[in-house]
Every structure is written in C-alpha cells, then in structure tokens.
Amino acid sequence: MKDKPSPKTAGELPSLTPTMASRLLRLGLSESDQPVDLLLERVQAAEGARWFASAVTAVFGESAGRPGAELLSPATTLARLRLWKRQCTALAEQAADQDSWLQAMLGYFLAVAAALAHHQAMITDRPPGEAQATLAKLAAAVPLPWSNLLSQASRNARSLETQTPP
C-alpha cells in the first residue's frame, strides 16, 4: 500500500455521521483499564511496597542490596535504557499471568522514566502529554527514591511537550 498523506484540513476528511462522530469522540475518554491503572491498583494494594521492590529486583536486578540501582543512576546510558524497555515489552507479550505482565509493565514505565529523567529523551512513541500524565500518576503511588525519579521524568515530559512545535 502506498503512503497517503494525512489530511491537512477538515475538508479533506471523509464525512462524519453523528454515530461515527460520537464513536470517535468517545475515544477521547480516558480508559480505566489502561496498564497504568492496573499497575496503580497493584502498587496501592496491601503489601504494595514489598511487591514493587521485588518487581524492580526481578526486572532490573539489584546492587549492594538496592533494587534497580542501575536504573536510578544518571550514568546509565540511553542505549541500555532502550534495551531494557524492549526487553520489558517482550516480557509483557510473553507473560503467563497478570503478575508477570504487571512486572513487565512496571519495568517498561521505569525505563521510559529513567530516559526522561536522566537524558531528557523520549524512548517511546507515545505522546509526551500522555507519558507525562502516566508518570505523574505513578510518581504519587510508589516509594522513594522512585517517586522522585518519576516526578522528574514527568516534568521533563511536560517540558518536551511544550517545546514541540505546532
């Protein structure tokens, strides 16, 4: 299929029936079953902090008893963070149960957050505005020092969004 240019004006779009307009407008609503919401539910449940620490260790390992120490270090390269993100995507696709899937999703978000916080770089195709909102939600739910990392990442995503030319 040849690439077709995206419409530049509303006039170039196919006509919209009220039903189609309504269906499309509903896509603007936030989804309650997005990965971040399920993740928040798990982190905020009983033993959530313990689950979080064991999930970080399972995905990123630990150093001197500190789960995910490498992820928290600004010295970790962008290439390494990209690799982790890809590995987490693969882990999520292969997950045999919800808990494994949530661990992989947590790893994915933390890798994206570390890239934003340490390198001001977006390593996901998601819009910066969406990443900013997602990371801010997570920042409010996880323990220190991760909440600091996620808050910084969220601020940097916001800054990248406002720098985006119209």
Partner 1 sequence: MCSTQVGQVARQAFQPTQVTWILAALARGTSGRRDVNRHLMEVYAQPLEVYVRGSSCRWAGEPMEIVHGFLADRLGRADYFEKWQRSGLPLRKWLINGLHFYLREIADSHPDALRGDGWESLLRDPSQGPKTKLMVAVDRACMATIVRQALVDAGRECERRGLGRHWQAFQLYYFRDLPFADVACDLNEKVEKAKQMTRIAREYFRSAVRELFIRDGADPEHVDDAIRSLLKDAES
2 vs 50, which CB is nearer to partner 1?
2
Output the CA torsion 141→142→144→145 (10° steps).
Answer: -120
Question: For partner 1, which residue of 51, 100, 121, 129 counts as binding (CB under 8 A)?
Answer: 129
57 vs 89, which CB is nearer to partner 1?
89
String marking each residue 2-21 x if it binds partner 1 according to CB under 8 A? -xxxxxxxx--xx-x-x-xx
Cα dist from 20 to 13, 15, 16, 27, 37, whole Å: 13, 9, 6, 11, 28
Q: What is the DSSP letter of 140?
A: T
Q: How far apart are CA 134 and CA 92, in angstroms?
A: 18
Locate tokens 């909102």: which residue? 133
String marking each residue 83-122 x if it binds partner 1 according to CB under 8 A? ----------------------------------------
Question: For partner 1, which residue of 70, 95, 130, 147 counts as binding (CB under 8 A)?
Answer: 130
76 vs 124, which CB is nearer to partner 1?
124
For 111, counting Cβ atoms within 10 Å of its Cβ (0-12 exposed, 13-18 middle, 19+ buried), the class is buried
62 vs 130, which CB is nearer to partner 1?
130
Residues β-bridged to residue 63 = 66
- Residues of the shown chain interacting with partner 1 in the complex, contacts defined by CB under 8 A: 1, 3-10, 13-14, 16, 18, 20-30, 125-127, 129-130
